[in-house]
A = this chain, B = another copy of it.
Amino acid sequence: MGKLLVVGTVAFDAIETPFGKTDKILGGAATYIALAAKSVADIDTAIVSVVGEDFPEAHLQLFKDRQINIRGLEIVPGGKTFFWSGKYHNDLNVRDTIATELNVLADFQPVVPKNYLDADIVMLGNLHPGVQLSVIEQMTAKPKLIVLDTMNFWMDHTLELLLEVIKKVDVITINDEEARQLTGEYSLVKAAAKIHKMGPTYVVIKKGEHGALLFHDSQVFFAPALPLEEVFDPTGAGDSFAGGFVGYLAKSENISFENLKNAVIHGSNVASFCVEKFGTERLVSLDNHQLKERLKQFTALTQFDIDLS
Contacts and interface: CB of A to CB of B under 8 A. Distances in A.
Nearest to A228: B189
A224 B227 contact: no
Interface in A227-281: 227-231, 258, 261-262, 265-266
A261 B301 CA distance: 9
Interface in A184-219: 186-190, 207, 210-211, 213, 219
Contact of A296 (B91, B211, B258, B308): B308
Given A207-B210, A210-B207, A210-B210, A304 B227 contact: no
A91 B261 CA distance: 29
A88 interface: no
Contact of A229 (B190, B219, B221): B190
Contact of A300 (B221, B228, B301): B221
A302 B303 CA distance: 7
A59 interface: no
Contacts of A63: none
Q: Indicate how many identical chains form the complex.
A: 2
B265 A304 contact: yes
A228 B302 contact: no
Interface in A59-95: 90-91
Looking at A210, A299, A304, A308, the one whose CB has the most chain B CB atoms below 10 A away is A304
A222 interface: yes
A22 to B, nearest CB: 22
Q: Give the interface size bracket for A toward B.
A: 35 or more
Given A262-B305, A265-B306, A296-B308, A189 B227 contact: yes
A295 interface: yes
A220 to B, nearest CB: 6
Contact of A306 (B91, B230, B299, B305): B299
B186 A90 contact: yes
14 contacts: A187-B228, A187-B230, A189-B227, A189-B229, A190-B230, A207-B210, A220-B227, A221-B300, A222-B227, A265-B304, A265-B306, A299-B306, A302-B304, A303-B303
Interface of A: 90-91, 186-190, 207, 210-211, 213, 219-222, 224, 227-231, 258, 261-262, 265-266, 292, 295-296, 299-306, 308
Given A219-B300, A261-B304, A299-B306, 10 more contacts: A187-B229, A189-B227, A211-B224, A220-B227, A220-B300, A221-B300, A221-B304, A299-B308, A302-B302, A303-B303
